[in-house]
């Protein structure tokens, strides 16, 4: 069953959604990946399997990138115009809340650079190098909030989507906090 928690940040609708990430559509899909842009495990592998190996070939031509960077490829057979590979961690699997925040900010910038208006973001799953899922969600929402409040562009909706109940709850709680912080500014 789909659940949604929605707030407005800087004129952009940001939604936490509990649903199957591969069952969505929009202008772009943002996925977390390592800076080598390999699509051999986890979320990137699932996206490659659903969208086609041409995505992996195109990403490989752009690798490596700096941790925190985001690059755009075609989306293959996926129902998106673009796929944004957000380099959330290095090949060693290490990241930080600051890296994730910068990564989310840069992913939205790439979407706006292309004139996209609706973006679906799959947050990193599980714990990455000792950073909890809640910390990942908090960092992503800070990056999104920072971008939404400082840039005006074509972006109208950002969906953070997970089919995991705990991640959805973390996303909804962090979205609520980000909304309150905006009200206080």
pLDDT confidence band for 170 (50 / 70 / 90) = confident
- Over the chain, what is the mean pLDDT? 89
pLDDT confidence band for 135 (50 / 70 / 90) = confident
**Number of structural domains in the chain:** 1
Tell me which residue range forms the domain holding 124: 3-184
Q: What is the pTM of this model?
A: 0.92
pLDDT on residue 20: 87
Looking at 33-42, 72-81, 165-174, which range is the least confident one? Answer: 165-174
d(Cα 44, Cα 112) in Å, to the nearest integer?
22
pLDDT on residue 126: 57
pLDDT confidence band for 171 (50 / 70 / 90) = confident
Residue carrying the six token digits 């996209």:
116
pLDDT confidence band for 183 (50 / 70 / 90) = low
Q: Does the pLDDT value for residue 163 go beyond 60?
A: yes
- Using CB atoms within 10 Å of the CB of residue 90, give its burial: 0 to 12 exposed, 13 to 18 middle, 19+ buried: middle
Specify the pairing of strand 3-9 against strand 70-73. unpaired
Q: The domain spanning residue 14 has which CATH number?
A: 3.40.220.10
Q: Kindly report, residue by residue over 45-96, the tens digit of the pLDDT.
A: 999 999 999 999 999 999 999 999 999 999 999 999 999 999 998 888 888 8
Q: In degrees rounded to 5, what are phi and psi of residue 158?
A: -125, 125
Q: In degrees rounded to 5, what are phi and psi of residue 172?
A: -60, -45
pLDDT confidence band for 10 (50 / 70 / 90) = confident
pLDDT confidence band for 108 (50 / 70 / 90) = very high
| Preceding peptide of 101 cis, ω within 30° | no
pLDDT confidence band for 16 (50 / 70 / 90) = very high
């Amino acid at each position: 069953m789909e659940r949604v928690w929605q707030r407005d940040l800087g004129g952009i609708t940001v939604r936490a959604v509990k649903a199957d990430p591969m069952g969505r559509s929009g202008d772009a899909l943002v996925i977390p990946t390592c800076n080598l842009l390999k699509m051999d495990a986890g979320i990137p592998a699932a996206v490659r399997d659903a969208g086609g190996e041409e995505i992996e070939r195109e990403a490989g031509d752009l690798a490596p990138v700096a941790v925190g960077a985001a690059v755009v490829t075609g989306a293959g057979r996926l129902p998106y115009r673009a796929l944004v590979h957000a380099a959330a961690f290095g090949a060693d699997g290490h990241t930080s809340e600051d890296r994730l925040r910068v990564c989310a900010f840069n992913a939205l910038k790439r979407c706006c650079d292309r004139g996209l208006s609706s973006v679906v973001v799959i947050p990193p799953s599980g714990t990455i190098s000792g950073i909890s899922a809640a910390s990942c969600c908090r960092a992503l929402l800070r990056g999104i909030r920072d971008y939404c409040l400082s840039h005006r562009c074509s972006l109208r909706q950002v969906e953070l989507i997970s089919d995991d109940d705990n991640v959805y709850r973390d996303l909804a709680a962090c979205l609520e906090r980000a909304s309150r912080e905006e009200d206080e500014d």
